[in-house]
Structure 1
Amino acid sequence: MIGDDEIQKQQGIIPYVLTGDKHYLDLRAFPDKIKLAVWEKQNHKCAICGKEFDYQFMEGDHFTPWRDGGRTTIENCQMLCRECNRRKGGK
């Protein structure tokens, strides 16, 4: 059975071939390994409100939005609390 990751990778190959935009090769969601590293780097604090949160209450967010070509990489990740991430949306 093909998992969601494989389906997204297969769907991203065609837009990549047509446009050359490498962000189509990335999954949109950050893997836990990246999110955990960024959470640690931010000292367990939300990048917007500055409050400290346990990892399970934080979400990975793209600095440059994925829809605008932002890559799903550690350099393009910030950890936000759920409330700040919902408020930020696609801004």
Structure 2
Amino acid sequence: MAKTPRIPIPPEVRNYVFERDRYQCKSCGKTKLDTQLTIDHIIPLARGGQNDISNLQTLCLPCNQQKQHNLDPRFRRHFSN
């Protein structure tokens, strides 16, 4: 599986994802009032994920750091390790 090149996420896309996800971490539920939020690739680029908006989610910094380049457990059943 080829790694997808990382590109900068434009501010308007970041804002769209934050608004779509209601400024809430998709993993633990913390909001922007509780923690620093980041944009994460659901299927990591290293595992063939795309830079498509449907592959982006809002995660808080601790959840994003914990996930690293691993697959989100909610999507793991669709991929072999």
Report the TM-score when normalising by structure 2. 0.70
- Is 1:76 the counterpart of 2:55? The answer is yes
Aligned pair count reads 68
1:38 is aligned to 17
Give SS of 1:84's match. Answer: helix
| Percent of paired sites with the same residue | 30
CA deviation map 1:27-63 (0-9, x unaligned): 1x42222121011011110010111115x92111111
8 A contact 1:30–1:73 mirrored in 2 = no
C-alpha distance in structure 2 between counterparts of 1:32 and 1:64, whole Å: 21
Report the TM-score when normalising by structure 1. 0.63
Query: What is the alpha-carbon root mean square deviation over aligned residues?
Result: 2.2
Unaligned runs of 5+ in 1: 1-20
Which structure has the highest helix share of the two?
A: 1
Q: Which has more radius of gyration? A: 1
1:1-91 equivalences under 5 Å are: 23-24=4-5, 27=7, 29-53=8-32, 57-91=36-70
